[in-house]
Amino acid sequence: MAKMQLAGVMLEVDEHGFMQETEKWNEDIARAYGAKEGINELTEDHWKAINYLRSYYLANGICPMIRRLIKETGFTLKKLYDLFPEGPANSACKWSGVPKATGCV
Amino acid sequence: MKKHLKLTDISKDGDEQLDEINIDELVPLPPPYDKGEELPGIKQLTDDQRERLVCNLDGVVSYAALPKPANKEEEEKYVGQFIAGLKKLLSKENNWTFLQPLLLSIDYCARCQTCNDACPVYLASGEKDFYRPTYRSEIFRRIINKYIKPAGKLRAKLGGGDIELNWATISRLYELSYRCNLCRRCAQSCPMGVDNALITRELRKLFSQEFGWAPKELHEKGTVLQLEVGSPTGLRPNVAIDNLKFLDEEFTESTGIRVETPWDKEGADVLLIHSAGDIISFPESVIAFTILCNAAGVNWTLSSEVGGYDGVNYGLFYDDVQLAKVAVRHVQIARKLRVKKIVMGECGHEHKALITVADRLLTGDLIIPRESVMTFLEDIVFSGKIKFDPTKNNFPVTLHDPCNVVRNLGIVEPQRRILRYLCPQFREMTPHGVDNYCCGGGGGLSVMSDVNFTDWKVNVSGRMKFKQILEAFADRLGPEVGKYVCAPCLNCKLQLRDLFKYYGAREKSGIIYGGLAELIVNAMVEIKKPFINWEEEQ
Amino acid sequence: MSLFLVVLTYFAYVFIIAMYVVKAIKIARLPLHLRWELYPVIYEPKSKYGSGFQEDEKGWRKSQGKKLRKGILYLLKENLRFNDYFKSNRGYWLVLFPWHIGFILIVAFHILCFFGALVIIAGNPVTANSVYVIGKIFYYCILITGVFSFIAGAFGSIGLILKRQSDKNLKAFATPQNYFNYIFTLIVFLSGLYAWIFADPTFAQYRDFWRGLLTLSPVSVEPATAVHIILFSLFLVYLPFTRSMHYITKFFAFFWVRWDDRPNFRGSKVERNITGLLNKPVTWSAPHIKSGRTWAEITAEEKYHEKTS
Ligand code: SF4
Ligand code: SF4
């Protein structure tokens, strides 16, 4: 299993850098992920998406559909890509500390 | 310089990479995609990854968790396990499911190499020796002859081309068995009736059923999750229902007609089993079915039982036991709902697994009729109950044939009759129908994305398909004309998504992809706004 | 010597037939397997492009009868023409085809000799100027099949050696046995050719030998012919140890796998078969299989939880 140091914590991650132990997540980790992808400052908009993603995941065991994310946050897809360089599935989910989506999605 | 590999090279220099993929040796694509250097290519592994992972084939890793043997004893143990697995593959108890086809493919290959030219992976790779359909099979065959047959070791010594079974061979065979789409184009071209795809699948089975090694997307987060939670996506029954409620509302609003998806209706005529991935990633497809079934007055339902709302069966790709469990689960649910038949969603391997392969796993009241979505949709379209205006689909459309629906199931025309009726600019790819090229995601590959495996899929296995698509649209390749690749299979759509994203097909050529049901709904008179969304979705 | 030839020939024929029958029975007795057909299935009504079965279930059932004939005809034609190779691998076809034609003709040659001997025994001489038409026909047929077989076979054997050596793709997969086979067949065909040219230009001796064979009154032949007879017998004995069975297994591979579309109904033979197979024990070692149970137990045990919502 790969490991990665983020915000001073050693984390177990998959080969794409997604956290494997979602309970270890904290806001600093999200910031550190962002910084790695060139976003040095997480804005309120970032947090809105991250918090929604994370709470949806914790409640449902899966990331929300993009449509839901768009509806809940009120952001367009383009806006989401502006906020999260690799897009909702690859950046936003990763920064929120949830595992990478698999299984025909 | 192209390297020539011998069969025996597979067992040499266990930690060394056997060969590498050079982007400029790959089959060239037409412009504007001919400049390979503008694309990232296949990501090199980091030093840390090289240290940790098994990467001794082609520089690509599909399964990070492949466990390196710690010492000589462990290597020996693996060899023993491999031989034990081989014996089980050759036994009537453990492998009655495929013993006869396996033996017919093992013993009677004429080594004529005719099948090589049929393989999209081999062709796209610039004819890399280890991607030949025959490379892994011939090695497998020689290992059986040497380690299982009487006096095999002696004969191997005398006969030359003796393959040593060691960690290098085992680990490379493992990875090699996931460099094949199980598309069976090779099998179709073999004059002897030898099926190299079947051999590949038997290899995967050996690894899964004996070692417990299988890509995590297929096994741990695949069939295991499906049987436990309901779907490899992790979608639970209540979340599935909740998502569809949400979608019903969304689409009622955007289409202006009432969209309502029925759940768990006992005694319905039709149990429709979508792939759950469609609910999450391609909701228009799922809603299109709701609209069509309701408009045509079909007495239908979805099921919210665990596994009943996800028709995928990854067991088809790597494991007979998992295949049987998932298939039996699907029919059990249908039996419980007392439906007349099960209709597959737009998912090719679901078709193959449940309609034909599992046909011989079912007995008694589990034998419930199963129908393809293609004939189901054809009946709806030509029922006369829905009004269509084909001019609404007046853009270039081509059809991608999912291998598991055409070559593996023989369903070729119904989908074409629909497209010829509803899409004035429908054109075929060359070749198509039972001779089609796989999208490059077949055999479970489309859901696998560990380490740098996606890079391999978009550069190598999907290359022939992408080339074909571009050629089908060659007359209007510019981005100003929107073009639609109809791919009625979730796995194919996922692969096309990766392909189009990698090459920038939407931006450079205006090509999008989607299912068949969406195209049908798009042509409905009753649907006022265009149903197909030409803007970027994900 | 002449007795030896008779015994050897009988032995060779009995041996090869027995070996092939044993092998065929072995394959035939393997258990029913999961469906794994590949389309087009040549005897389904929509075989031009796909399947009549999956596309149109009801129509398909009506046309079940012609299956076997259509399939066998297709494969026989393919065995004679090698169309698949011709289409996809022309260079290889050019040598492979004559080689196989050599075999087909040499078999035909022997069958003709056999019946020719019967004709002779019945009192009709088989010669060019036989007063009986049937004698003439046999004479020419035997002559033509024999000569063509030797020439085509020899050409093919040499061609295959060269082709396998020069074509990188083929060479990588060649084994010493391949070359041994080619050389062996080359010698068989050449010995026939030699005997024909120098010892037996009308195959009169050969016909006589066969008459002797059938009446169990050994005749002596010239050494060159004797050599060919010995080599051919050895060749027959050797054949079952090669992949030559693919002539026959090809029919199995197509009928029992590639075109096997027999559906499973309640109360059908297929269903009975499956019920038995599902009771076989599973001993695979991977943890998820939880071995030691039967297939039926493994699949049924997966009782699915009630809805979690
Ligand atoms: S699998 Fe068939 S086509 Fe391929 S080398 Fe063997 S005999 Fe020839
Ligand atoms: S199944 Fe398809 S991808 Fe696999 S070896 Fe055969 S032709 Fe190639």
Q: What is the pLDDT along chain A (105 residues), one digit of tens a residue?
A: 788 988 888 999 999 999 999 999 999 999 999 999 999 999 999 999 999 999 999 999 999 999 999 999 999 999 999 999 998 888 999 999 998 887 666
Cα B110 to Cα B359: distance, rounded to the nearest angstrom: 31
DSSP string, chain C: -HHHHHHHHHHHHHHHHHHHHHHHHHHHTSPP------SSPTTSTTTTTS-HHHH-HHHHHHTGGGHHHHHHHHHHHHHHH-HHHHHH-HHHHHHHHHHHHHHHHHHHHHHHHHHHHHHHHTT---STT-SSHHHHHHHHHHHHHHHHHHHHHHHHHHHHHHHHHH-HHHHHH--HHHHHHHHHHHHHHHHHHHHHHHT-TT-HHHHHHHHHHHHT------HHHHHHHHHHHHHHHHGGGTGGGHHHHHHHIIIIIIT------TTSHHHHHHHHHHTSB----SGGG--SSBHHHHHHH-PPPPP--
- Which pLDDT value is given to residue C281? 94
Number of domain units in chain A? 1
The answer to whether C49 contacts B433, with C-beta atoms less than 8 Å apart, is yes
* Alpha helices (H) along B185-308: 185-189, 196-205, 224-228, 237-255, 276-281, 283-295
Confidence of residue C60 (pLDDT cuts 50, 70, 90): low
Domain ranges in chain B are 7-211, 221-378, 387-522
B198 lines ligand 1 (CB under 6 A): no
Tell me the pTM: 0.93
Q: How far is A57 from chain B (nearest CA, A)?
A: 10
CA dihedral C258, C264, C268, C269 (to 10 degrees): 40
Separation of B135 CA from ligand 1 center, angstroms? Answer: 11
Contacts with B487 from chain A: Cβ below 8 Å: none
Q: How many percent of chain C have pLDDT more than 70?
A: 94
| Helix/strand/coil (H/E/C) assignment for every residue in B108-142 | CCCCCCHHHHHCHHHHHCCCCHHHCHHHHHHHHHH
Which fold does the domain B221-378 belong to in CATH? Answer: Rossmann fold (3.40.50)
Phi, psi values for residue B388, rounded to 5°: -120, 155
Chain A: partners with 3+ C-beta pairs within 8 Å: B
Q: How many percent of chain C have pLDDT more than 90?
A: 52
User: Which of B320, B291, B317 has the alpha carbon at shortest distance from B210?
Assistant: B320
Q: Tell me the ligand closest to B193's alpha carbon.
A: 1
Which SS3 state, helix, strand or coil, does residue B484 take?
strand
Residue A104 in domain: no
B115 lines ligand 1 (CB under 6 A): yes
Own/partner long-range contacts of A87-91 (Cβ < 8 Å, ≥24 apart): A87/B538, A88/A49, A88/A53, A88/B538, A89/A63, A89/B538, A90/A16, A91/A33, A91/A37
Atom of ligand 1 nearest to the CA of B113: 5
Atom of ligand 2 nearest to the CA of B185: 7
Note the CATH number of domain C2-30+67-258. 1.20.950.20
Which SS3 state, helix, strand or coil, does residue A16 take?
coil
Residue A44 in domain: yes
Q: Whose CA is closest to atom 2 on ligand 2?
A: B183
Cα C20 to Cα C12: distance, rounded to the nearest angstrom: 12
Cα C31 to Cα C274: distance, rounded to the nearest angstrom: 9
Domain ranges in chain C are 2-30+67-258, 279-308
CATH number of residue A32's parent domain: 1.10.10.370
The CA–CA distances, whole Å, from B125 to B118, B168, B175 equal 13, 22, 16
Atom of ligand 1 nearest to the CA of B105: 1
CA dihedral B169, B174, B178, B179 (to 10 degrees): -10
B463 lines ligand 2 (CB under 6 A): no
- Which pLDDT value is given to residue B36? 74
Chain B: partners with 3+ C-beta pairs within 8 Å: A, C
Q: Whose CA is closest to atom 8 on ligand 1?
A: B112
Cα C79 to Cα B533: distance, rounded to the nearest angstrom: 52
Q: Tell me the ligand closest to B192's alpha carbon.
A: 1
Contacts with B84 from chain C: Cβ below 8 Å: 285
3-state SS of chain A: helix, strand, coil percent to 5?
50, 10, 40
Query: Which of B64, B217, B537 minimises the CB distance to A103?
Result: B217
The CA–CA distances, whole Å, from B372 to B281, B348, B368 equal 22, 9, 13
User: Which of B435, B441, B433, B436 has the alpha carbon at shortest distance from B181?
Assistant: B441
Mean pLDDT value of segment C90-112 = 92
Task: Name the one residue in this structure whose structure tokens are 């209709």.
Answer: B343
Cα B398 to Cα B396: distance, rounded to the nearest angstrom: 7
pLDDT, chain B, mean? 94
Q: Whose CA is closest to atom 4 on ligand 2?
A: B180
Separation of A12 CA from ligand 2 center, angstroms? Answer: 36
B182 lines ligand 2 (CB under 6 A): yes
Phi, psi values for residue A5, rounded to 5°: -95, 120
Cα C143 to Cα C134: distance, rounded to the nearest angstrom: 14
Residues B196, B287: contact at Cβ < 8 Å? no
Which SS3 state, helix, strand or coil, does residue B196 take?
helix
Count of C-beta atoms within a 10 Å radius of residue C40 = 22
- With an 8 Å Cβ cutoff, is B346 touching chain A? no
User: What tens digit of pLDDT does each residue of C236-254 get?
Assistant: 999 988 888 888 888 999 9
Which residues lie closer than 8 Å to C58 by C-beta, 6 or more apart?
none
**For testing contact with chain A, the best of B55, B233, B312, B447 (most A CBs within 10 A):** B233
Q: Is C touching A (3+ C-beta pairs, cut-off 8 A)? A: no
For the beta sheet containing B370-371, the strands, ordered from the edge strand earlier in sequence to the opposite edge, are B300-301, B270-273, B341-344, B370-371
Query: Which of B236, B247, B491 minimises the CB distance to A104?
Result: B491
Residue A103 in domain: no
Residue A67 belongs to what domain range? 2-95
Q: Whose CA is closest to atom 2 on ligand 1?
A: B190
Cα B87 to Cα C55: distance, rounded to the nearest angstrom: 39
Which residues lie closer than 8 Å to B264 by C-beta, 6 or more apart?
B301, B302, B303, B304, B305, B337
Buried b vs exposed e over B320-342: b needs ≥16 C-beta within 10 Å?
Answer: bbbbbbbbbbbbbbbbebebeeb
The answer to whether B239 contacts A66, with C-beta atoms less than 8 Å apart, is no
Cα C144 to Cα C141: distance, rounded to the nearest angstrom: 5
Query: Which of B217, B243, B491 minimises the CB distance to A65?
Result: B243
Q: Are strands B370-371 and B426-427 parallel, antiparallel or unpaired?
A: unpaired
Q: Ligand 1 test: best mutation among B185, B190, B200, most atoms within 8 Å of CB?
A: B190
Q: Tell me the ligand closest to C84's alpha carbon.
A: 1
Q: Ligand 1 test: best mutation among B7, B141, B192, most atoms within 8 Å of CB?
A: B192
State which H helix or E strand residue A9 sits in.
strand A9-13
Q: pLDDT (tens digit, 0 to 9) for every residue of chain B, 538 residues total? A: 578 899 999 999 888 999 999 888 999 999 899 987 788 899 999 999 999 999 999 999 999 999 999 999 999 999 999 999 999 999 999 999 999 999 999 988 988 899 999 999 999 999 999 999 999 999 999 999 999 988 888 888 877 778 999 999 999 999 999 999 999 999 999 999 999 999 999 999 999 999 999 999 999 999 999 999 999 999 999 999 999 999 999 999 999 999 999 999 999 999 999 999 999 999 999 999 999 999 999 999 999 999 999 999 999 999 999 999 999 999 999 999 999 999 999 999 999 999 999 999 999 999 999 999 999 999 999 999 999 999 999 999 999 999 999 999 999 999 999 999 999 999 999 999 999 999 999 999 999 999 999 999 999 999 999 999 999 999 999 999 999 999 999 999 999 999 999 999 999 999 999 999 999 999 999 999 999 988 765 4
Q: A67: which DSSP letter?
A: H
The answer to whether C253 contacts B105, with C-beta atoms less than 8 Å apart, is yes
Contacts with C76 from chain B: Cβ below 8 Å: none
Cα-to-chain-centroid distance, residue B289: 22
Q: Tell me the ligand closest to B110's alpha carbon.
A: 1
Q: Whose CA is closest to atom 7 on ligand 2?
A: B119
- With an 8 Å Cβ cutoff, is A4 touching chain B? no
Q: How far is C254 from chain B (nearest CA, A)?
A: 6
User: Which of A74, A103, A71, A77 has the alpha carbon at shortest distance from A92?
Assistant: A77
Q: Identify the sign of the CA torsion A43, A45, A47, A49.
A: negative
User: Which of B404, B399, B180 has the alpha carbon at shortest distance from B313?
Assistant: B404
B119 lines ligand 1 (CB under 6 A): no
- With an 8 Å Cβ cutoff, is B217 touching chain A? yes
> Closest residue of B to C298, CA-based?
B325
Separation of C21 CA from ligand 2 center, angstroms? Answer: 33
Q: B79: which DSSP letter?
A: H
Chain C: partners with 3+ C-beta pairs within 8 Å: B
Cα-to-chain-centroid distance, residue B90: 26
Q: Tell me the ligand closest to B105's alpha carbon.
A: 1
Side chain identity at C306, as an amino acid letter? E
B183 lines ligand 2 (CB under 6 A): yes
Residues C182, C160: contact at Cβ < 8 Å? yes
Which residues lie closer than 8 Å to B152 by C-beta, 6 or more apart?
B145, B146
B194 lines ligand 1 (CB under 6 A): yes
Task: Name the one residue in this structure whose structure tokens are 């920064």.
Answer: A95
B190 lines ligand 1 (CB under 6 A): yes
